[in-house]
Chain A
Amino acid sequence: MQKLLAFSIVIFIGCRKGDKIVPPVVTPVDTATITSPVNGFYLLNEGSMGTNKASLDYYDYNTGLYKKNIYPSVNPTVVKELGDVGNDIQVYGSKLYAVINVSNKVEVMDAATARRIGQIDILSCRYITFANGKAYVSSYAGPVQQDPHSPAGYVAEIDTATLQITNKVTVGYQPEEMAVVNGKLYVANSGGYSVPNYDSTVSVIDLTTFQEIKKIDVAINLNHLKADSDGDIYVTSRGDYYNIPSSLSVIDTKTDAVKKKFDIAASNLCISGDTAYIYSSIFSYLTNTWAVSYNMINVKTETLLSGNFITDGTEKTIKMPYGVAVNPVNKDIFVTDAKDYVSSGTLYCFDKTGKKKWSVTTGDVPGHFAFVLARK
């Protein structure tokens, strides 16, 4: 007598669904403002390096809707989407320019729809700024000077009508953000690849000759650079993460000399009207600790204002502030939280008194804003 026991194991392999274009996540965050002079803004999420997750979000004032990750559905035929590590975004004329660092390109889109127009190939491109129909893009990949393994940086001049590179000028090492004041381009040089021999200069480029006319010695490891409306340049230094602290310096563009240095930590800033909104997230390798702070400076009087531009305590929930922007019309303040840099971030919107209006989930590592103004 045999007692038989039968059992089956079924491995069921379901249909492999098609790999679909990921549609945007649409979140209503605020009431629609039909007559807003600002149509909306783009938020560029960097995405962690190697993940190819640079992504574009758009907030539309006319509908009050926040659309996360709009690029793939608008541009489904672009191979591997927007790219790897979005580093800067700006609107100029009718076009939207996104600097995608590791993808070695500036993605040029229609500012109204984010539809791709073309791309400008620039190795290790970092930031973009504009003047008189030209775009200026900083890049780490300039000509070799002394060290064959550490090339100098350069700035490319691009005709915004043809999207062709028309000129190049060599600047300092690992150049970062730029601004144009009175026909001169100011470039923050970091030297971040030659630790501990950081660069400490701002290159001054005469835009008519496109030659570097001066290097202003400011502080080591420069990063963000913004112009105010009185012809001053504010430039942040990241310090060396050990003994030399982060700081913020002011350059007078009439004399091209440093006229003031604020001994406050400054990771990034946004100047709107007479106020600079500054945050810092500083890490010390000596103590393995962070210090996050928020400050304001009156750029007319060049004085540090007391208090924080976030006034309702929301800053306690922000783990890693990574971007700041101010609506040029209603002065709403936007702060992004990159959290752990490998997960979705959060965008906070505060009114001009620093009270939270809304917040929304963004792509990974949100950091860069471009406002779209209504056409007159």
Chain B
Amino acid sequence: MCVLVVLFTTALKAQQRDTAKARELKEVSVIAPKPVREITPGQKMQGKDLSRLNSLSVADAIRFFSGLQVKDYGGIGGLKTVDVRSMGTNQTGVFYDGIQLGNAQNGQVDLGKFSLDNMQEIALYNGQKSNIFQPAKDFGSAAAIYMTSLKPNFNTGESIHLKGTIKTGSFGLFNPSLLWQQKISNKVSASFNTEWTNANGRYKFRSRKDDGYDTTMIRKNGDINALRVEGGLNGVLNGGEWSTKLYYYHSERGLPGFVANNVFRHVDRQWDRNFFVQSSFRKDITPRYSLLLNAKYADDYTRYLAPDTAALYVDNHYHQHELYFSVAQQYALTTWWNLGLSADFQWNKLNADLRDFAYPTRYTTLVAAASAVYFRRFSAQASVLATIVNETVEKKTAATPKREYTPSLFISWQPFTTPAFRLRAFYKRIFRMPTFNDLYYTDIGNSFLNPEFATQYDAGFTWTTTFSNKIEAGIETDAYYNEVTQKIIAVPTVNQFRWTMMNLGLVKIRGIDVKAKANWQINAVGVSTRLTYTFQKAQDYSDPTSGFYKDQIVYIPRHSGSAIIGTDYKKWTANYSLLYTGERYNGKDNVPENYMQPWYTSDFSIGRILQYKRLNIHLTAQVNNLFNQYYDVVLNYPMPGRNYKFIIAVNI
């Protein structure tokens, strides 16, 4: 298992009808307004493609997208965040059922907390979703991940869907879930979904050096006990739709911590409680004028306990509140020219029982003006976002008010008569606000901070085709250049245990994303293949006098990629997936002491569908990290070796 070559050949035929494109338009996300004409479609994984992976969380699935790295602290309860195109986790917005998940405290959304159990689609947009009829927030991050939950869809004569799933396997995992969808009337349906995740989180890991030490240990204190409950109503209107949703998540977990010489166990624990309620309403008021309203209230609580008195005893409680309202409008001037105007308001508050805590409140107003033109072979969208942020504090100094105007431009062009080949490009300048932790965390925060800007230039093409109606294939490639300026980084003060935040970083990123897809039908066998490749040269230009000037930034591999091959044969399914992350460095200096080996994991699963009267039973067995490769994604946070999962899902 030294050299593994996956050779993927697709036969593509030119001059075919653009069926893939047409499908893209149809599969638009649930809340998303109509008519959605995305100038550059995002990377998506949905339905069957998602279920093939049999992943537990959104983070596990999104690793198969190109142009991003998942920062994974390992195990079922480990923090998993996404860094898109090396711009940093905080520059990525994460949206759930159309509304952004906020975290004003640290700006990070743990995608490990979001289950794939009830997910219909995951989509990633570089820049933004290139749609002008959307809330102002959707214009407000350098990249956006949209998670869309399963929406009831009843065939004639159906009025109820029930699905029960149990997942078990390694890590002491017991993970039952229930999905219930109920048709209330022709226009209204309800859904309810709950899931319990319980695991001791233990796994073996091995630490070794050639001609040196070689030891195998058990990862401890990685237990998790989490409950998620969500429910909602979806309705259709004449020329519109509405939805409302409640979400509750509660968890207690051990934080297994870093592994170091003589340090193999930590005792830190974390409790999370997240609640939100959100509603959305969209209607075409006139044939030309459409309106989209969104509202949300979120309440997030975290307790962090470090009970080891030999080190510093910490028991902190954080409580965040968020209120959000949005009005988005679209006006069709002509059949080919639309105007959009959206205005959002958001209120955030953070309370914490830290000494000398500032108790900050943030008021954010966003206004986005956008315009789009659509021709048969050319379309373009331009927008400008105004962001106004004001903050107040109860102690110490509040950050000064911020007012920023940030533009974006997306174009798409079909150079030949065939719609199978399109060119696209975008430019976007955006920023992320310093988080409450960046600004106000006691003894660390710096309220003098400025926003961190990201500027992106991207050009690419898409090519889709079908062959004999048996093979559908497509490839998308983008090349890009990004600059992150005034990057907010932690800098030390008087010793390495006392830090402060500063706008000191400058990163220049050059990259290439490649995505290829092909679906084949060979007699009774259906084969679906998906490949990604990512090249990133992300260099630190912060300080010309430093030893790491122009070195590759921390944890970003030059090369990474993935492959998925799924097959269906009658009632059987099989899936193979491969992830590859090339060599990278865990420190700012690209020196041997900071070198990290490449890693690649192979997952294999096999499934069988059983039909028993009205019951549809899906059994799956999966082995992950088939070749038992030990690796770290984050230094000293070892990942599991070979592990197993068994899934039984029953549909009524």
Contacts and interface: CB of A to CB of B under 8 A. Distances in A.
Interface of A: 2-23, 25, 46, 48-53, 55, 69, 72, 76-85, 100, 102-105, 119, 121, 123-124, 140-141, 144, 148-151, 193, 195-196, 238, 241, 267, 281-283, 285, 288, 290, 317, 320, 338-344, 361, 363-365
A102 to B, nearest CB: 6
Interface in B467-493: 467, 491-493
Contact of B211 (A21, A52, A83, A361): A21
Contacts of A81: 261
Given A17-B597, A50-B258, A195-B355, A79 B213 contact: yes
Contact of A342 (B443, B448, B587): B587
B212 interface: yes
Given A52-B635, A141-B310, 19 more contacts: A5-B12, A5-B13, A9-B8, A13-B580, A16-B598, A21-B209, A50-B636, A51-B586, A76-B211, A78-B213, A80-B260, A84-B261, A103-B260, A121-B262, A193-B313, A267-B494, A338-B492, A342-B588, A363-B593
A25 B594 CA distance: 13
Nearest to A17: B597
Given A344-B547, A361-B547, A103 B261 contact: yes
A51 B500 contact: no
Given A2-B13, A20-B210, A103-B262, A343 B587 contact: yes
Given A19-B597, A76-B212, A344-B589, A320 B492 contact: yes
B592 A79 contact: no
Nearest to B2: A15
B11 A5 contact: yes
Contacts of A193: 312-313
B364 interface: no
A362 B619 CA distance: 56
B463 to A, nearest CB: 10
Among the interface residues B9, B311, B497, B580, which one has the most CB atoms of the partner chain A within 10 A? B311
B494 A241 contact: yes
Interface string B139-166: 0000000000000000000000000000
Given A5-B14, A140-B310, A11 B580 contact: yes
Nearest to A20: B210
Interface in B510-537: 514, 516, 531, 533
B570 interface: no
Q: Is the interface of A mostly helix, strand, loop or mixed?
A: loop
Contacts of A344: 547-548, 587, 589, 591
A9 B209 contact: no
23 contacts: A4-B11, A4-B13, A8-B9, A12-B3, A16-B599, A19-B209, A19-B210, A22-B595, A50-B635, A51-B258, A52-B635, A79-B215, A79-B261, A82-B261, A123-B310, A140-B310, A241-B493, A283-B494, A283-B500, A285-B493, A340-B491, A340-B546, A365-B496
Nearest to B396: A285
A124 B3 contact: no
A48 B8 CA distance: 44
Nearest to A104: B262
Interface string B256-269: 00111111000000
Interface of B: 2-15, 207-213, 215, 258-263, 309-313, 315, 355, 443, 446, 448, 467, 491-494, 496-498, 500, 514, 516, 531, 533, 545-548, 561, 563, 578, 580, 586-589, 591-593, 595, 597-600, 629, 635-636
A241 B580 contact: no
Given A5-B13, A285-B500, A20 B209 contact: yes
A200 to B, nearest CB: 18
Contacts of B629: 16
Contacts of B215: 79
Nearest to B314: A149
Contacts of A25: 591-592
Contacts of B586: 51
A124 B533 contact: no
A32 B450 CA distance: 51
A150 B588 CA distance: 35
A104 B263 contact: yes
A71 to B, nearest CB: 10
Nearest to A2: B13
Contacts of B599: 16
Contacts of A53: 587, 593
Contacts of A238: 494
A289 to B, nearest CB: 10
Contacts of B635: 50-52
B6 A19 contact: no
